[in-house]
Chain A
Amino acid sequence: MSRAEDLPVLRRPRRQQILPGFGLTMGYSITYLSLIVLIPLAAAFLTAAKLPLAQWLHVLMAPRVLAAFRLSILASLAAALVNAVFGLLIAWVLTRYEFPGRRLFDALVDLPFALPTAVAGVALTTLYAPNGWLGQLLAPLGIQVAFTPLGVVIALTFIGLPFVVRTVQPVLADLEPDLERAAETLGAGPLLVFRRVIFPALLPALITGSALAFSRALGEYGSVIFIAGNIPLVSEIVPLVIMTKLEQFQYGEAAVVAVGMLLLSFAMMFAVNAAQLALQRRHQARR
């Protein structure tokens, strides 16, 4: 591809920044960003930094905190995997098939984004409680959802679904139909076409969507606390541990756990961005 910059004759004069307002908008943006986001976030790091290292280890290695981290990570992972499978299936059905109520179901996918988490929390708890609509059906099978780690996974699955569907959907809609037609012409059945042609193209979006669902699940609070029962060592998530320490006025300890969590979240954010860049580069190189 030849770009205009490569051809001296065609080069446009370097655009000067002639529009007014750079100082004002940039200055305002930076100030507002610092006041609302950066300085308060720094407070968590600085408060935690005041504690000696031994105290840090003591806080983070406490069985209750360790158990909470394990539950938060494993439950978020499980929910992300469920969403990867069903999110892909739902994105496929909504993009490729026409059926009565499709538009309604398509709009419904965004419900977890729009519904306040506390509302989702009380609704899910009522549904899955032993006497609830779904809890009643599961109880004879010996499956208890409410007030167990399984409840945490259910709530996190609810929260994460739109991330996968909404990330995969546009990629699926923009796939080249000719590729699939060519594969079909060459004798590939629908499953083979999906496995060899469609799935590889969707994989980056699927991974991104699942990673986003995972990150969101890690910090989720409102939808989980009602259904989890919050039993220490069993069904207590990290955000709740922070909340408990805060209620006991242990600001330093709360800040330490928060910093542990923030580092995990920022690492996830960084990994998602890096993975996407790498996949994009690999893809462009292949072109």
Chain B
Amino acid sequence: MRRREDFPGSDGSARLAGRVALIGVAVLYLTLFLLLPLITVFVQALAKGLGAYWQALSDGDALSAMRLTLTVAAISVPLNTVFGLAAAWAISKYEFRGKGLLLTLIDLPFAVSPVISGLIFVLVFGARGWLGGWLGEHDYRVIFALPGMVLATTFITFPFIARELIPLMQAQGRDDEEAALSLGAGGWRIFRTVTLPNVRWGLLYGVLLCNARAMGEFGAVSVVSGHIRGVTNTLPLHVEILYNEYNFVGAFATASVLAMLALVTLGLKAMLERSHPELRAGRPGDLVPRPPQAAAP
């Protein structure tokens, strides 16, 4: 990474007008397209005052949506964390055939539309799906219930943590672990005392992004939830229902909670990137499928 001052034309004297114009266009674009929608959320949420805002948030359905969102994330994120650690260990510590294929398969959910991510679970577990009959006989619901929402969310956020850990652990190699092994440590102990401390910031970074997506996922969860108020409504689905009922203060009050979650995520992410630049280096676009390593001369 080079500093701005290294490049010609940034010495402060030349081409001031062009620079100001470019900065102006960029700032205007970011303000119009990104900042304004964000501001809209809070302005609309508070359109009828703090009282109405607070009332909308303390509504029973809103609270149960919050609870369900937290529950889904609390199951999906740990599942994908364990997978991320296992897959990163297998891929970074050993050589085996088909590693490239495995990496591609891990990335697969990135290429799948959220609606299709929900659809596939309906095809397996729905009333007319593969296991629908059997589940019906045993009176167990997956679709239109918590298990389906957890499955769809887990699918959507599947690659997040693995994708963060694999390049990190590949770059770190296995010297530390082999040293620990030669000193007599067992596999579990090596993992706990050597590997985990080595990757903790990358892991935290992955969990942060995975959690943000898990709590904010809309399309996939929408397909499998059935939109039962107070029962299978997550926060994003609650936004949709209220909005379609023209309850704009309620919809935007709920949306503002999710927007704050996004802002906290971005803030923590920026902090992590500043204190640990390696988290960002070489991995442009954290949620981008298959980190592009474009060739620079």
Contacts and interface: CB of A to CB of B under 8 A. Distances in A.
A27 to B, nearest CB: 9
B158 A36 contact: yes
A111 to B, nearest CB: 5
A74 interface: no
A286 to B, nearest CB: 8
B290 interface: yes
Interface in A128-165: 133-134, 157-158, 161-163
B1 A173 contact: yes
A1 interface: no
A180 B235 CA distance: 50
A177 B231 CA distance: 58
Interface residues of B, number: 118
Contacts of A179: 297
Interface of A: 17-22, 24-26, 28-29, 32-33, 36-41, 43-44, 47, 86, 89-90, 92-99, 101, 103, 105, 107-120, 122-124, 126-127, 133-134, 157-158, 161-163, 166-171, 173-177, 179-181, 184, 190, 201, 204-205, 208-209, 212, 215, 218-222, 226, 238-240, 242-243, 246, 249, 251, 254-255, 258, 261-262, 265-266, 268-269, 272-273, 276, 279-280, 283-284
16 contacts: A22-B90, A108-B266, A115-B259, A116-B236, A116-B262, A117-B216, A119-B259, A122-B251, A123-B37, A126-B252, A166-B288, A204-B295, A222-B114, A242-B116, A251-B129, A265-B113
Query: Which 6 pairs across A and B sit closest by C-beta, in order of nearness?
Result: A219-B113, A116-B216, A166-B285, A205-B294, A20-B187, A221-B219
Given A19-B187, A119-B239, 19 more contacts: A19-B178, A19-B190, A21-B93, A29-B102, A40-B151, A41-B112, A93-B25, A95-B4, A96-B9, A97-B19, A108-B30, A111-B266, A113-B285, A124-B37, A162-B288, A166-B288, A239-B114, A251-B126, A258-B115
